[in-house]
Amino acid sequence: MSALPATPTAALDGVLQRHGHYPTELLQILIEAQDLEGWLPAPTLTHIAQSLHIPRSRVEGVAGFYSFLYTQPVGRYRVLFSDNITDRMLGNAELMDALCRKLWIEPGKLSEDGLVSIATTSCTGLCDQGPGMLVNGRAIGQLTHRRINEIAEMIRQQRPLELWPAEYFQIGDNIRRKDSLLNLDMKPGAALAAVIELGREGWLQEVQKSNLRGRGGAGFATAVKWASARNASGEPKIIVCNADEGEPGTFKDRVLLNSYADLIFEGMTLAAWAVGASEGFLYLRGEYRYLLPQLEAVLARRREAGLLGRNILHEPCFDFDIRIHLGAGAYVCGEETALIESLEGKRGTPRIRPPFPVTKGYLGRPTVVNNVETLAKTCLIALGGGEAFAASGTAQSAGTKLLSISGDCAAPGIYEYPFGVPIARILEDCGASDTQAVQVGGAAGVCLAGYEFQRRIAYEDVPTAGAFMIFDGSRDLFDVARAFVHFFAHESCGFCTPCRVGTSLLQGFMDKLADGHGAKADLADIDWLDRLLKNASHCGLGSAAPNPVIDTLQKFRPAYERRLVSLDFEPAFDLDAALAEARQLTARDDPGAHLHTHEEEEK
């Protein structure tokens, strides 16, 4: 696969043709072009640029942005180990090491025969059944040494993925607690029929009465968002379902997409009815690409049933259809404006707001971007009415919330609770004991210590997009924070300097402490970097990046302090070793040819 094709193939032209040579389809074209060769050789990029009549630099810029697009050769078997903290806690490093040794390769490098490459990737959303990996985009969970041995053998034998044991690719839903949403058994189209009955205005009023707020974490009122898009000028209007579930530790959307896809697509159609939208996109994160065939099948079935397409349920002028747009490994695309950029076939760089997407979104048109769970919830409102929905939960947080629970507990998986549930209750239900801390809301969220376990999941107390990672007494919270800092440094889009440089500097300090070179002065510098990231970053990624450090420094400070070797200052490198080369070159070993790492020792 490392051999350059002499000329771009007819297959590539087929891909371009299928996407109508639209530059907005660039990301989708690149993903499919990569499927042909396994990677994106330079002639392919050039050919795409020429065919789309866009600069070569733009194609290269997009290809270089997404983690799952490769402009260098990768193995015919492309193994990516999920590297969330929960994967680390389950021993992913040891497993990756074992696989590398068995296949005689180094992480991040391509084997000489081009057979296999092994690397890590950000959280793949398999935290409840980790450690996880992706092999050529297919997810495998519950890795063990036995599985690793078998995988090594199958790769050596070059067995096609289709012939690998099917149970490898079985990703369980692990639903542990159901409430109103997960208990809903809706006949496709039932919610739609109900809202068509209500009329567009009446439906919007129901949503308003329900007090539904966005489940992606920010908690913006859904009815306000829909009404704004509805009142905005510009056609056609767009509904986007944000299924770019990249927040480490979150996997509730994976389960909804897998087993409740009809609720999601119906929710999108309900939104379209309220807003007057005619086009819909589901932005599916690249890590969930294995769900694509079944999602396409659901869409096809809905089209056949008259639930998508023209004159939905025979309602004149109710036209709406949905396309699935694939991501390619970029956490920042979960941010709605970055997601829209990505939908337009560009790098996922967040936009400056305002204008907000509801007035100027996809291609400048009014665009509603809602979370998967938010859209699914609208079916409940359509069927049961807004007031009934508003009656559950708390004053400011109506309804239920899906939590993705992972880490140190007996029963990881999906738990649906009415808003207002205390942390302690959740810990009890999932069988967590000796819990030291809970990271709620993912890497960007909040780290709660034991004295906060009476706090409640709700927008007015502990808001969350759904991640709930549990750390028991055996875990070191410094390692947790460091893992998240590495995550942000890797996922920074590179657009603004405070985030690009700041996350990387923060990573440097955390590594310095981890390597045993920490000093008190570093903690002051870390504080300063935290403030800089929080205040100067362009988007939420940069301003959330220091959160894990801020929280753990406040609540688990000894985890940092015990790593300090000096109360003043400590270089990050060994000064005496820095003279070793010169010593060797000059054959000197006198006292002047040495430096003590600690100044005091010199006297």
Distance of closest approach, residue 289 Cβ to another protein, in angstroms: 41
Paired with 407 in beta bridges are 470
- From the list 38-46, 165-173, 200-208, 591-599, the region that binds another protein by CB under 8 A is 591-599
| Six token digits for residue 485 | 């800092």
Helix, coil or strand: residue 471: strand
Selected from 54, 193, 536, 595, the binder of another protein by CB under 8 A is: 595
Rounded least distance, CB 500 to another protein, Å: 17
599 lies in the binding site for another protein (CB under 8 A)? yes
| # chain residues binding another protein, by CB under 8 A | 24
Helix axes 497-514, 520-536, angle to 10 degrees: 160
Q: Which residues of 352-366 are buried (b: 16+ CB within 10 A; e: fewer)?
A: eeeebbbbbbbeebb
Applying CB under 8 A, does 601 fall inside the site for another protein? no
Smallest gap from Cβ 546 to another protein, in A, equals 20
Residue 582 touching another protein (CB under 8 A): yes
User: Contacts with another protein in 188-247 (CB under 8 A)?
Assistant: none
Among 10, 166, 410, 585, binds another protein (CB under 8 A): 585
Separation of CA 533 from chain center: 20
Least distance in Å: CB of 482 to another protein?
20
**Which residue in the set 198, 388, 411, 579 belongs to the binding site for another protein (CB under 8 A)?**
579
Classified as helix, coil or strand, 467 is strand
Q: Does 593 bind another protein (CB under 8 A)?
A: yes
Task: Assess 528 for contact with another protein (CB under 8 A).
Answer: no
Count the alpha carbons within 13 Å of 445 in the hemisphere toward its beta carbon: 29
Query: In whole angstroms, how close is the CB of 534 to another protein at the nearest point?
Result: 20
Q: Are 82 and 143 in contact (CB under 8 A)?
A: no
Shortest distance (Å) from residue 515 CB to another protein? 14
Told to check if 581 binds another protein by CB under 8 A, we report yes
Q: Which is nearer to another protein, 76 or 517 (CB)?
A: 517
At a CB cut-off of 8 Å and minimum separation 6, what does 167 contact?
A: none
Residue 584 beta carbon to another protein: minimum distance, rounded to whole angstroms: 8
Residues, the chain? 603
Pairing of strands 175-177, 237-243: unpaired
Among residues 433 and 586, whose Cβ is nearest to another protein? 586
Q: Give the nearest distance from C-beta 508 to another protein in angstroms.
A: 11
Which of these segments, 87-95, 101-109, 432-440, 582-590, binds another protein (CB under 8 A)? 582-590
| Cβ atoms of 98 and 80 closer than 8 Å | no
449 near another protein (CB under 8 A): no
Quickly list H helices, 492-519: 497-514
Query: Binders of another protein among 303-322, rule CB under 8 A?
Result: none
User: Tokens 């009890």 label which residue?
Assistant: 428
- CB within 8 Å of 80: residues ≥ 6 apart: 118, 119, 120, 121, 124, 133, 134, 135
User: 62 φ, ψ to 5°?
Assistant: -70, -45
Q: 303 or 520, CB closer to another protein? A: 520
Kind plus residue range of the DSSP H or E element containing 537:
none
Nearer to another protein, 185 or 568 (CB): 568
CB-based contacts of 93, cutoff 8 Å, min separation 6: none
Q: 412 with 428: CB under 8 angstroms?
A: no
One character per residue 468-507, x = contact with another protein (rule: CB under 8 A): ----------------------------------------
- From the CB of 591, what's the least distance to another protein, in Å? 9
User: Nearer Cβ to another protein, position 166 or 587?
Assistant: 587
Binding of residue 587 to another protein (CB under 8 A): yes
* Residue 292 binds another protein, judged by CB under 8 A: no
3-state helix, strand, coil in the chain (%, to 5): 50, 15, 35
Q: Which of 421, 424, 372, 371 is nearest to 393 (CA)?
A: 421
Contacts to another protein from residues 547-576, by CB under 8 A: 568-569, 571-573, 575
Question: What is the enclosing helix (H) or strand (E) of 129?
Answer: none
* 444 touches 437 (CB < 8 A): no
Q: Phi, psi (5° rounding) for residue 403?
A: -115, 135
* Given 6, 354, 592, 601, the residue binding another protein (CB under 8 A): 592
Bridge partners of residue 280, in order along the sequence: 239, 322
What's the min distance (Å) between Cβ of 550 and another protein? 22
Query: Out of 159, 178, 557, 588, which residue is the one contacting another protein (CB under 8 A)?
Result: 588
218 or 582: CB nearest another protein = 582
Q: Nearer Cβ to another protein, position 199 or 571?
A: 571
Query: What is the rounded end-to-end Cα distance, in angstroms, of the chain?
Result: 61
Nearer to another protein, 162 or 568 (CB): 568
Q: Please, how many CA atoms are within 13 Å of residue 454, restricted to the half-sphere of its CB?
A: 1
Binding piece for another protein, criterion CB under 8 A, among 175-183, 199-207, 250-258, 586-594:
586-594
Binding another protein (rule: CB under 8 A), the pick from 521, 527, 540, 546 is: 521
Pairwise CA distance, residues 290 & 130, whole Å = 17
DSSP string, 73-92: ---SEEEEEE-SHHHHHTTH
Among 116, 455, 580, 601, binds another protein (CB under 8 A): 580
Contact 118, 102 (CB under 8 A): no
Q: Does 163 bind another protein (CB under 8 A)?
A: no
Q: Which is nearer to another protein, 102 or 583 (CB)?
A: 583
Is 515 one of the binding residues for another protein (CB under 8 A)?
A: no
Pick between residue 101 and residue 588 the one whose CB is nearest to another protein: 588
Cβ-contact 461, 483 below 8 angstroms: no
User: Footprint of another protein on this chain (CB under 8 A)?
Assistant: 519, 521, 568-569, 571-573, 575, 577-583, 585-588, 590, 592-593, 595, 599
